Amino acid sequence: MRSRGRSGQKRKKSAPRRRLRRVLLALTLGLVAVAIAGWIAVHRFPWAGPLVADSLRAVVGVDAVTKLEDFVYGIEDRWNRFARSDEKPKAYWEVPSGEAKAAPQPSASAEGPPPLPPFRPRDVGPVHESWSAPGDGVWVAVKDPRHPEEDPHLRKTLLHPDQYRSWAELFVVAVDLRRVDVHLVAGRYEPKTYERDAKDYARPARIPESVQELLLGAFNGSFKTDHGHYGMLIDGVTLVKPRKRACTFALYRDGGLKIAMWPELEPSLAEMVWFRQAPSCMVEGGNMHPGLVDTKARSWGATLDGETVIRRSAVGLNDARDILYVSISNHTTARAIALGMKHAGATDVAQLDVNWSYPKFVLFHPREDDGQLVAVALAEGFEFSEDEYIRKRSHRDFFYLTRKTEPQKTAKK
């Protein structure tokens, strides 16, 4: 009888434990389901990622969310390297084979200076010969459907800069600065300002209707103020004070563009129309940042770790400063995007915004049914809407491109 009593007591004690295990298992499965649903939402709905990240930052802080992003993107990368290891690099568009490799130089005329030669950057080929898709490094014309007869002002190419990840893709647009102007617009909310004189600065956060006839494309800006406090000047108003240890993308009154660390550009501040800052220059004077050259280096001064495999964006200039390179990427480290931009022809490079929802490059085409101007993605898979930057107010700063009314050569400063 005593033995049965002890057995009964064990059964009574084990019952609550089983219930506890069931509850813990249910909670674990629930958390996993929520995490999976959240990950799907973040990668399907452009608003989901910012909402989740900003909500978490309000609770646990910016640094904690950055570490969480590093951790989550690390898990995704490890999964991709397991599940996609046999994938070959992918092409996204056809590359015409009949286009001339070098454009003929126009002859001089007694009536005035010759017209500008067609825009034809030198093809650079793949970053890694044995690790590329057809057409890698070939500059393909980006035609404006409103001017189909015109020589292209923009060209695009695709590169695969990471020989260990075939799905690491870098889409690069080359912009002819002899024919194209670059403009900066402050976002509706970002960059957030703490400057008293900037509190009343008007933020339409859209491309003005007055220039939409000349509009070619647009792309994202830099980080939120809380992610590094990188500076911005626009319309004579300093929204965020410049940081000394920051890469600076600046437009000057003579139309020239520069990318360099702030101490180099600060003496010419009075000549600037606008500037926008980013983490330390990835490439400067043709040399990659030491933190990106060393494969063991984890950071070069950015918000996210340099080895985080993430969607990124960047801008660059060639040595003559007559070509602007704009890139958006999939699944790249900081080193990979820097290497790809340098390979494309940029001698000075600044990284812009990162993460899933923010990097984007859109073109503007008239819609077939009503002729209304709408945004068109450069490549599939990037988040955007048809009203992006033109009717929809952007929460964050961005750049846009217009054709010059009087094309001219851009002199190197």
- State the Cα–Cα distance between residues 68 and 174, nearest whole angstrom: 35
- Identify the pLDDT of residue 212: 95
| Model pTM score | 0.83
Report the SS3 class of residue 225: coil
Residue 399 CA to residue 403 CA, distance in Å, equals 14
Q: How far apart, in Å, do the first and last CA atoms of the chain sit?
A: 100
The interaxial angle of helices 48-60 and 62-83, nearest 10 deg, is 130
Which two tokens mark 195?
A: 């400057």
Residues 6+ apart with CB under 8 A from 80: 165, 167, 309, 331
Give the DSSP letter string of 95-149.
--S-S-SSPPPPPPBTTBSPPPPP--PPP---SSTTS--TTTTPPEEE--TTSTT
Residue-wise pLDDT tens digits, 352-407: 999 888 999 999 999 989 989 999 999 988 888 999 999 999 999 999 999 998 77
Residue 102: its pLDDT value, please?
Answer: 43
pLDDT of res. 107? 54
Strand partners, 182: 401
State which amino acid sits at residue 38. Answer: G
State residue 350 phi and psi, 5-degree precision. Answer: -125, 135
Give the pLDDT of residue 161.
Answer: 96
In the prediction, which pLDDT does 372 show?
94
pLDDT recorded at residue 143: 93
Residue 66 tokens, joined: 């950055």
Question: Which residues of the chain carry a pLDDT beneath 70?
Answer: 1-13, 26-70, 98-113, 295-306, 408-413
pLDDT of residue 80: 79
Q: Where are the domains of the chain?
A: 2-83, 140-403
- Asked whether the beta carbons of 188 and 229 are under 8 A apart, the reply is no
pLDDT for 307 equals 81
pLDDT, tens digit, 9 for 90 and up, residues 177-212:
999 999 999 999 999 999 999 999 999 999 999 999
Model pLDDT, residue 406: 79
Which pLDDT value is given to residue 175? 98
Could you say which DSSP state residue 266 is in? G
The pLDDT value recorded for residue 20 is: 72
Alpha-carbon distance values, 68 to 52, 72, 135 (Å): 12, 6, 37
On average, the pLDDT of the chain sits at 85
